């Protein structure tokens, strides 16, 4: 639930940048306007009515590209078919019927009355088909052409355009109310209505894309985002959403195309990091390395780029190339045990571990309080299987930095290697008490109980074989010991599974989750093998 709330808040912030300049780029569809009648109230008004109906309206509408005047012949034909003569007396239902027959968005009618020989009062009514409402317009004009056209434009055509804008905004407001209340089905219909008024409304396409994305209809979301992008090709937020939609469909080529476009519009280290990670997914490792290096050029202390580059080479078992970026990553992420461990393996695989140990020892002599140097030295000893030296190094580090949970985690890890399980559990629990929401102590305890459980499981299997060959009291004794070892193993495996579940609640790391899932699969098999009544 928290993630959804954050996403909605993020989108609300994005709207400011996505649509701040929308008015400058929007070209609304043509709104169809029917002038049903213009009644002359006296003989003096005849000239003004004729000029308006025969010339002025057509000329003025031609100058407003978003308004289209329905031909008078078509209007007369429909009025003749319906038999309506008193337009001002029609109710909304019949006006709506006329609008449908004329395929009009607005119906206009009114009258002209002379106030003097040169001044005329024009009264008009405008019916909006969408809003189902009638608006009144009253203004005066002189008889001459310039005055007539100027007053009609200012009071009728400009008013029509304001009505269109107001109706669009009202439609958007309604759609946003549905969206903000998470009634996405109603919001979708409301945004579609916005597009019926304004087919080039970027905001509507954007939110329709999000609603489709939320409903996991990624192809439809892609279509909406592409339409939004056609209208605003350089909008970074639309590009970002489209990129996410491509990722959900595993369209990595399209994802890369969008990422490169984003990098052209706003070059950032984060974008190049994403480009590198995407190239890694499709195994274009040279391109990935180039992207990671570009990110590092933008920020030579960008730890994420060093980490991804180092891990890529590490997974490819190219340990020589992995060394340098992993060294930089470990400097920038001193508490990342996985990175330190993999760096140690790189030293080991490249035959440079002994020299690394000497470097760490020299660094400690120069900088006695350099906690990272102690940690790296301890990890190096573990990589060399010199676990007792690792423990002694970590005990020295504990004197310098007693509140650092990584000290206790590494002590627990080294004691597991030495099979000092009581000390391992004690240090893991200290780390857990110091930082209850850190997943690493739970992972260590899970590993510890899996290891002790497996030792008991092996004892159980050995006793099972011995019991098959024994007779009498000896067989009974062996069976009893076998069952005791089986039950003890099962209990340890259960504890290991419980700690894995606790670790899972405290991490969102994909690599840790892969490790947890792998361990769970094995533990489920071991739990099945050690449950009572299996044999």
SS3 sequence, 406-451?
HHHHHHHHHHHHCCCHHHHHHHHHHHHHHCCCCHHHHHHHHHHHHH
Which residue matches tokens 């003096």?
44
Position 332 scores a pLDDT of: 77
Q: Which two tokens stand for residue 397?
A: 């580090």
* Helix %, strand %, coil % of the chain (to 5): 75, 10, 20
Decide if pLDDT at 24 tops 80: no
Q: What is the mean pLDDT of residues 316-333?
A: 87
Position 18 scores a pLDDT of: 47
Mean pLDDT of the chain: 88
128/134 Cα distance (integer angstroms): 7
Which pLDDT band holds residue 263 (cuts at 50, 70, 90)? very high
Position 9 scores a pLDDT of: 41
Q: What is the mean pLDDT of residues 282-302?
A: 94
Q: Which of 248, 247, 209, 246 lies closest to 227, judged by CA?
A: 209
Which CA distances in Å does 382 have to 106, 299, 310, 342, 428? 81, 33, 21, 12, 17
Decide if pLDDT at 459 tops 90: yes
Contact status, residue 60 vs residue 149, Cβ threshold 8 Å: yes
Contact status, residue 273 vs residue 305, Cβ threshold 8 Å: yes
Position 337 scores a pLDDT of: 67
What would the pLDDT profile of 167-188 be if each residue is shown by its tens digit?
888 888 889 999 998 999 999 9
Dihedral sign computed on CA atoms, order 425, 431, 432, 438: negative
387/418 Cα distance (integer angstroms): 7
Contact status, residue 140 vs residue 121, Cβ threshold 8 Å: yes
What would the pLDDT profile of 151-169 be if each residue is shown by its tens digit?
999 999 988 888 888 888 8
Position 489 scores a pLDDT of: 95
Give the angle subtended at the CA of 136 by the CAs of 131 and 137, to the nearest 5°. 125
Instruction: State how far Cα 386 lies from the chain centre.
Output: 46
Position 447 scores a pLDDT of: 93
Which CA distances in Å does 362 have to 6, 352, 365, 406? 48, 15, 5, 22
40/111 Cα distance (integer angstroms): 6
Q: Is the pTM of this model over 0.75?
A: no
Decide if pLDDT at 15 tops 50: no
Q: b/e map of 56-90 (b: 16 or more CB within 10 Å)?
A: bbeebbeebeebbbbeeeebeebbeeeebeebeeb
Query: Long-range contacts of range 15-19, CB-CB < 8 Å, 24 or more positions apart?
Result: 15/203, 17/236, 17/237, 18/202, 18/203, 18/206, 18/232, 18/235, 18/237, 18/238, 19/202, 19/203, 19/206
Decide if pLDDT at 264 tops 50: yes
Q: What is the mean pLDDT of residues 86-114?
A: 90
Decide if pLDDT at 331 tops 50: yes
Residue 414 region by backbone torsions, left for phi larger than 0, else alpha for psi between -120 and 50, else beta? alpha
What would the pLDDT profile of 206-225 be if each residue is shown by its tens digit?
999 999 999 999 999 999 99
Which CA distances in Å does 176 have to 12, 164, 190, 284, 314? 10, 18, 8, 42, 48
What would the pLDDT profile of 339-382 be if each residue is shown by its tens digit?
877 887 888 888 888 888 887 888 889 889 888 889 889 988 88
Q: Which of 95-109, 125-139, 237-251, 405-419 has the lowest mean pLDDT?
A: 125-139
């Amino acid at each position: 639930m928290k993630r959804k709330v954050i996403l909605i808040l993020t989108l609300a912030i994005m709207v400011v940048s996505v649509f701040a300049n929308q008015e400058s780029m929007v070209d609304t569809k043509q709104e169809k306007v029917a002038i049903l009648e213009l009644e002359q109230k006296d003989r003096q008004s005849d000239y003004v009515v004729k000029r308006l109906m025969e010339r002025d309206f057509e000329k003025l509408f031609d100058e407003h590209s978003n308004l289209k005047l329905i031909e008078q012949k078509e209007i007369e034909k429909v009025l003749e078919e319906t038999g309506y003569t008193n337009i001002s007396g029609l109710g909304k239902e019949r006006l709506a019927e006329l609008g449908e027959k004329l395929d009009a968005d607005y119906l206009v009618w009114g009258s002209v009355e002379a106030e003097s020989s040169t001044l005329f009062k024009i009264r008009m009514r405008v019916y909006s088909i969408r809003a189902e409402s009638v608006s009144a317009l009253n203004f005066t004009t002189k008889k001459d052409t310039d005055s007539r056209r100027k007053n009609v434009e200012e009071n009728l055509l400009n008013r029509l355009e304001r009505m269109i804008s107001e109706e669009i905004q009202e439609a958007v407001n309604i759609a946003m109310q549905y969206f903000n209340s998470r009634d996405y089905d109603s919001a979708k219909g409301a945004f579609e209505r916005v597009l019926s008024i304004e087919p080039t409304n970027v905001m509507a396409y954007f939110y329709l894309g999000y609603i489709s994305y939320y409903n996991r209809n990624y192809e439809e979301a892609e279509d909406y985002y592409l339409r939004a992008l056609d209208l605003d090709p350089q909008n970074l937020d639309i590009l970002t959403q489209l990129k996410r939609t491509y990722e959900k469909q595993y369209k990595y080529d399209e994802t890369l195309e969008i990422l490169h476009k984003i990098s052209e519009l706003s070059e950032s280290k984060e974008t190049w990091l994403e480009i590198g990670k995407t190239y890694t997914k499709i195994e274009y490792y040279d391109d990935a390395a180039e992207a990671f290096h570009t990110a590092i050029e933008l920020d030579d202390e960008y730890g994420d780029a060093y980490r991804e580059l180092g891990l890529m080479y590490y997974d490819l078992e190219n340990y020589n190339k992995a060394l340098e970026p992993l060294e930089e990553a470990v400097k920038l992420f001193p508490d990342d045990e996985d990175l330190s461990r993999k760096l140690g393996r790189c030293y080991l695989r490249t035959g440079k571990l002994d020299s690394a140990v000497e470097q760490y020892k020299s660094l400690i002599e120069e900088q006695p309080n350099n906690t990272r140097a102690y940690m790296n030295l301890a990890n190096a000893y573990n990589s060399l299987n010199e676990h007792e030296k690792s423990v002694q190094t970590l005990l020295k580090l504990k004197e310098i930095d007693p509140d650092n949970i990584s000290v206790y985690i590494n002590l627990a890890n080294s004691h597991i290697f030495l099979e000092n399980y009581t000390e391992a559990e004690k240090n893991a629990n200290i780390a857990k008490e110091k930082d209850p929401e850190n997943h690493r102590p739970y992972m260590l305890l899970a590993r510890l109980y899996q290891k002790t459980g497996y030792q008991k499981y092996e004892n159980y299997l050995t006793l099972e074989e011995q019991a098959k060959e024994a007779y009498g009291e000896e067989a009974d004794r062996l069976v009893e010991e076998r069952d005791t070892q089986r039950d003890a193993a099962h209990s340890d495996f259960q504890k290991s599974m419980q700690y894995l579940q606790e670790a899972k609640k405290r991490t969102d790391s994909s690599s840790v989750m892969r490790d947890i899932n792998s361990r769970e699969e094995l533990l489920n098999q071991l739990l099945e093998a050690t449950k009572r009544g299996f044999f």
